[in-house]
Amino acid sequence: MPGLYFEEFNDGQVFNHAIRRTVTETDNVLFTTMTMNPAAIHLDHDYAANETEFGKPLVNSLFTLGLMVGISVHDTTLGTTIANLGMTDVTFPKPVFQGDTLRVETRVMGKRPSKSRPKAGIVTFEHKAINQRDEVVALCTRQAFMHAKGDA
């Protein structure tokens, strides 16, 4: 199923995305090194075990953010988005570790027609990532610039 057009979103609409993803050590190491983040808390098992309260490496939070938004795309914006306008209120209330399986819920917080393009509108989403223990591990608000089928 492709993403939805501006008119197809409703305030308060909730998506429980079917895609789930188990995070691997490879995900964390690749993302962390590709983004030039040398933090030992993500890469050094000995450091994480002996010098942190977590006892093991944390998954890079920006990977978690990207995964959370990515999981939402198929049901919401695939092929119907013009651009992301911004992400705010990004929080990570619990850590993510390799082996955690994440699922995502998305809620439409609101929408409005574009002031500059008659065949587009802005949809505000709240994304929430939840691990296999039903703990919320990430949240963000995202504004997406969306195509409309007709005049928005």
For residue range 33-82, what is the model confidence (pLDDT) as tens digits? 999 999 999 999 999 999 999 999 999 999 999 999 999 999 999 999 99
The span from the CA of 42 to the CA of 78, in Å, is: 31
| pLDDT recorded at residue 1 | 55
The residue to which tokens 């890079």 are assigned:
60
Q: What phi and psi, each to the nearest 5 degrees, are found at residue 59?
A: -75, 135
What lies within 8 Å, CB to CB, of 48 at 6+ separation is 40, 41, 54, 55, 56, 57, 58
CA dihedral 17, 73, 29, 91 (to 10 degrees): -70
CA separation for the pair 40, 119 (Å, rounded): 47
Delimit the domains of the chain by residue range: 6-147
- Which residues is 124 bridged to in the sheet? 110, 143
pLDDT of residue 8: 96
Element (H, E) at 144: strand 136-147
Stretch 1-11: mean pLDDT: 91
- Beta-bridge partners for 14: 107
Q: How confident is the model at residue 2 (pLDDT cuts 50, 70, 90)?
A: confident
User: Is the CB of residue 4 less than 8 Å from the CB of residue 76?
Assistant: yes
CATH number of 6-147: 3.10.129.10
